[in-house]
Structure 1
Amino acid sequence: MKHSIKKIFQGLNTYLFFVLFIAFLTLMLTLEQQLSFDKVDNLKNQKKLIASLTKIKKDDIEIALIQFNGKSTQLLQEINKLKVLYKYNYLDQYLLENQQEYFDSLNKLEELTKSFNNAAHEYYVEGKDKKLEKKTKRNLDRAFYKINHQIDQILLKTVDYDEQKFVFFKNIIIAAFALMLLATLYYRKALYSIYKDLEFLLYLDKKSKITFNIYSTEVDAIALRINRKTVTTDNPSFLDPVTDINNYKGLINSYSVKKAKSSNFTSITVLEIDNFSKTNRPFSQDIAQGILKKVAYTISLHEQPIDTIARTDYNQFTVILSRATKEQTYKDAELIRESIAELKFNIPGQGPVQITVSGGHVIKPTNTSIEEGMKQAKEILAYAKSTAKNKILQAKDLAQKEMYDN
């Protein structure tokens, strides 16, 4: 069974979003845990403040009261901080839904804090009287016990909340890890198989005897297309030995195979390299062959499965295009000419040299043979060469010339 590369990459895209979601979830858990640590630190700090309020020296009552007022106020501020922290505790709000319970415990802690502050105040102010000192000390100890007990209860509840969240996230993380492990193994194998498919296409050779089990439907289709494309050139007599594209015989044979596969308009374009012929050889044989190979390769980049290209003379190439409209055939022929004009060759002793082509372009009628179409294209080519280089002319251009001549 072949696999679709498109579906694999769509799945990979979803998988990457899933990984991003898990990373976001992990970040949320980390932030929630940090908030939990902040709560614990806050409560521990309150216990230290409460303990310090019972140990203020009464030698200088004014200094004692200043210290008492500062620390008692700080205690109430710490409780407000806990209320503010809960606003960012989204998991507690939406997962545990413990808002009422949480704020009830803080409100109780606030009441006990106020009672403790009052008991401590009485101890430091009224406790100067020896008769009241024992009574105020007992009240302070009682308030001290109650507030510490409440803080311990909140600490235990915080641990309980964290445990519930941990169990929830533990199950999610285990399930996510299992899914990510399976998905990673699958996509790793799939991507490696796709890479091997592409490597197979890169070294695809019609003469190779190596069999390869193609993994993806797209590469399978491309391979079949390449094989169909190279079938007509299996015979060496159909190939141009310099450029490895069709020669004239290969052109006729390839076109006869492909013409039945298309109902589009067919055009014939004969391209000739400017200032480059058997009688005019400005370059050495090696350089000339290098130029011919490069031009042939550039033309082949624009070839579609139903097109046919060939080197039909020393410096001439014939391009048969099949397109939905006549205009598109000419546009694509022009695109080939422009691509060739962009080529630059560094010739020893001459520097960079630009290679251009001129061409004759005709739309082949269904009742006209390919040979007749090529003859008409060459007539237009001859006119194109006489007017300006690096240009592709059409039948209408030649008709206008004949009209002016008459």
Structure 2
Amino acid sequence: MLISIRKVFFNLKTALLILGIGGMILTAQLFHIAQYSERLGALKNQHLLIEKIVHTDLSDPKMADILINGAVSEISLSVKLSGEEALLDAFVNSNEEQASLLRSLEISSQAFQDNALFWSEALSISKDSAHQRMMNARTAFLGDIDRMMDYQVHIIQESIATAKMVAIFLFIAGFIVFLLYRYRLNQIYSDIDKACSVDTDGSAKLVLTQEIDFLLKRLIRRSSQNPLNPNLINPLSGLNNEKGLINAFNAKKAGKSGHNVFLSLFEIDHYTSLLNTLSKEDMGNIFKKLGDILNMYEQPLDVIAHTDDNHLVFLMSRNTKQLALEESEKIIHTVEESSFTTAQGPIKITLSGGFLLKPPAKSIDEGVEEALKLIEKAKETGGNRIAQQRNRHNSHN
């Protein structure tokens, strides 16, 4: 059963959305744990401040007063910080329990602060009783702090457990998504590669995606349609011959008004050596593949032909010379990068080309003759390149 590229990408987007939501939840949980840890730190700080007050030396009343008042102020701030609302409080814990513990903490904290201040200001004769009241308030305050700390530790553990589950889910889901869509995307890439390939070894291309299968079938139907007279076709490649070239060019001439017509002529480098080495069938396959490569760049008003002397003619209608030249160079590079199937195994070939603007006054044959001279210039520099006509008459580069 063929897979749908559209469905694959839709499912991939859905999977990435789910992973993204999971990542957001994990981030929120970690932020939440950090907030709970700050609460826990504020509660621990109250322990330290209580001990600081209780062990204050009252022999120096002024210094003791400064220390105790400062510690009392810090306790008030720490109590406030230990009760600050966290981002997900309403979703992961009981607000009523939190509020009840906080009220008890505020009451016992205030009682301890009042008794601590009273103890620091009490007269010598009442110091002992004031100290005892402060210690009793301290016991109640510490009890509330411990209960609040136990509660904070509990919800931190719950948040960590949730974060662990989300992290495990994201790891497993992410790994599955990676493996699955790595495989699916490789399938899609393989099908695209098959669709772009112009191998003509006669074997059917097995594709796994609906869209690429449709495109290949459409291309096959298109290539099988041959409304032209067989006398206008080169039997070796299935492209237009010289007569077919003239016929097709004249048929499309009316649509070329306003466009420049450029002629690119291609010749296989070391053609004689290939001809002596390969069979006629292999040469036919090579020319069919070269025709398929040219067809990749063909536009509605273009004409492609295979001449009797085994040159490939590409008459292209383009707005600018630069655009036509770039496409001709792309053809050279595509051929260089392609493999050609033969009975002796895959081989590599290159092309040399001649490129020029076809003046309206010149016939196609005259343009081809001029392009042949340009090909000789390209071959003199090693081939595998395209030579173009300079602006000066009878000058080439």
TM-score strictly above 0.5: yes
Shift of the 342–49 alpha-carbon distance from structure 1 to 2, 3 Å rule, reads same
Kept after mapping to 1: 8 A contact 2:43/2:149: yes
SS at match of 2:200: coil
Correspondence for 1:159 = 153
Correspondence for 1:96 = 93
Q: Which amino acid aligns with 1:221?
A: F
Q: Which amino acid aligns with 2:27?
A: L
Q: Which amino acid aligns with 2:93?
A: L
Kept after mapping to 2: 8 A contact 1:251/1:309: no
Correspondence for 1:28 = 28
Kept after mapping to 2: 8 A contact 1:47/1:148: yes
Correspondence for 2:104 = 108
After superposition, the C-alpha distances for 1:222-261 in whole angstroms (9 at most, x for unaligned) are 333454466589xx95246xxxx72418958xx8xxx9xx
After superposition, the C-alpha distances for 1:256-286 in whole angstroms (9 at most, x for unaligned) are xxx9xxxxx9889985469x9xxxxxxx986
Correspondence for 1:219 = 212
Shift of the 306–159 alpha-carbon distance from structure 1 to 2, 3 Å rule, reads farther
Correspondence for 2:313 = 317
After superposition, the C-alpha distances for 1:133-175 in whole angstroms (9 at most, x for unaligned) are 3322221111010000010111111123234434555555555
Correspondence for 1:49 = 49
Q: CA deviation at 1:187?
A: 1.1
Which residue, 116, 121, 124 being the options, matches 1:120? 116
Q: CA deviation at 1:221?
A: 2.7
Normalising by structure 1, what TM-score?
0.62
SS at match of 1:317: strand
Matches of 1:154 and 1:194, distance apart in 2: 57
Shift of the 296–340 alpha-carbon distance from structure 1 to 2, 3 Å rule, reads farther
Kept after mapping to 1: 8 A contact 2:105/2:144: yes
Shift of the 125–337 alpha-carbon distance from structure 1 to 2, 3 Å rule, reads closer
Which residues in structure 2 correspond to 1:308-387 (within 5 Å)? Answer: 309-312=304-307, 317=313, 337=324, 339=326, 356-359=355-358
Percent pairwise identity:
19
Shift of the 249–238 alpha-carbon distance from structure 1 to 2, 3 Å rule, reads farther
Kept after mapping to 1: 8 A contact 2:262/2:356: yes
Is residue 183 from structure 1 mapped to residue 180 from structure 2 by the alignment?
no
Correspondence for 2:72 = 72
Q: CA deviation at 1:305?
A: 9.6
Shift of the 285–11 alpha-carbon distance from structure 1 to 2, 3 Å rule, reads closer
Shift of the 19–123 alpha-carbon distance from structure 1 to 2, 3 Å rule, reads same
Q: Which amino acid aligns with 1:357?
A: L
Matches of 1:316 and 1:177, distance apart in 2: 56
Structure 1 stretches lacking a partner, 5+ long: 260-264, 277-283, 288-292, 322-329, 346-352, 362-375, 383-388, 391-406
Q: CA deviation at 1:54?
A: 0.8
Q: CA deviation at 1:69?
A: 0.9
Kept after mapping to 1: 8 A contact 2:191/2:209: yes
Kept after mapping to 2: 8 A contact 1:5/1:218: yes
Is residue 10 from structure 1 mapped to residue 10 from structure 2 by the alignment?
yes
Q: CA deviation at 1:3?
A: 1.2
Which residues in structure 2 correspond to 1:124-143 (within 5 Å)? Answer: 124-126=120-122, 128-129=124-125, 132-143=126-137
Q: Which amino acid aligns with 1:303?
A: E
Matches of 1:214 and 1:73, distance apart in 2: 75
Q: CA deviation at 1:194?
A: 1.9
Q: CA deviation at 1:202?
A: 5.2
Correspondence for 1:62 = 62
Ranked by relative contact order (alpha carbons within 8 Å, sequence separation 6 or more), the top structure is 2
Structure 2 stretches lacking a partner, 5+ long: 227-232, 272-286, 333-351, 369-388, 391-397
